Chains A and B, each alone.
Chain A
């Protein structure tokens, strides 16, 4: 079974809007990571949040972590067409296990 599960499975927004996607996981973690995958390409690491952090920023990305609810959210502000991609959360359980991802479409 997957350790990370993203929600929603698909999201479509207009350029300039914010996009929020969520991730739930099952076991205790040391950190949680978000990756992006452009169509047909390998995943690219976006941001890592440690279990003792509640929020982390990187450019237009904001990640939150709630260890009591075993959930994380990724917020992309002021979205651009180039943000169109699939986004995955991953939690290290000895070996990194990925969820099925959220497919984000940003319309120009």
Chain B
């Protein structure tokens, strides 16, 4: 693994289903982030974690939860998916100055 890995790369999901987007980094960065990107709205921060064991809410946290059990992993869970959560999701980690992004997960909720 080099950098940040997201999985899956794409997913079609029925509304009401539970889904976890995975994010793993191998750079030992303390800070990690989840963004969603929608046309016309740019990148919006969902949740973040400044260090293992801590998480915080971003701009659009409703309907999402995260956990940070260790430094490397930062999964994002949709407990009961809704169509408005159709988006491209990006995970990122930070070396305190700059962000390093994963390749994204395209999620469609039908």
Q: In the complex, which residues of chain A have a beta carbon less than 8 angstroms from the beta carbon of B94?
A: 96
B58 touches A95 (CB 8 A): yes
- Asked if A44 contacts B101 (CB within 8 A), the reply is yes
Contact B42 A48 (CB under 8 A): no
Q: How far is the CA of A41 from the CA of B102 in the complex (A)?
A: 8
Is B43 located at the chain interface by the 8 A CB criterion? yes
Residues of B within 8 A of A31 (CB): 97
**Residue A88 interfacial (CB < 8 Å):** yes
- With an 8 Å Cβ cutoff, the count of chain B residues facing the other chain is 24
Please give, as numbers and ranges, the residues of chain A lying within 8 Å of B101 by CB-CB distance: 42-44
- Given A95-B33, A98-B42, also A45-B100 (CB < 8 A): yes
In this assembly, does A100 line the interface, its C-beta being within 8 Å of a C-beta of chain B? yes
The answer to whether B66 has its CB under 8 Å from any CB of chain A is no
Report the count of interface residues on A (CB-CB < 8 A).
21
Structural contact, B103 and A41, CB atoms closer than 8 A: yes
State in angstroms the CA–CA spacing of A63 and B21 once bound together: 35
Please tell me if the beta carbons of A43 and B99 are within 8 angstroms of each other in the complex: yes
Shortest Cβ distance from B56 into A: residue: A95
* CB <8 Å contact, B98 and A100: no
Enumerate chain B residues within 8 angstroms of A98, measured Cβ to Cβ: 35, 42-43
Q: Are A42 and B102 in touch, CB under 8 angstroms?
A: yes
Contact in complex: B42, A100 (CB < 8 Å):
yes
- The reply on B74 being an interface residue by CB < 8 A is no
Question: Can you list 6 A-B pairs with a CB-CB distance of less than 8 A?
Answer: A33-B97, A40-B104, A43-B90, A98-B43, A99-B42, A100-B41
A-B contacts besides A42-B101, A48-B97, A95-B45, 14 pairs, CB < 8 Å: A2-B42, A31-B97, A33-B97, A40-B104, A41-B104, A42-B92, A42-B102, A42-B103, A45-B98, A45-B100, A88-B43, A95-B56, A95-B58, A96-B33
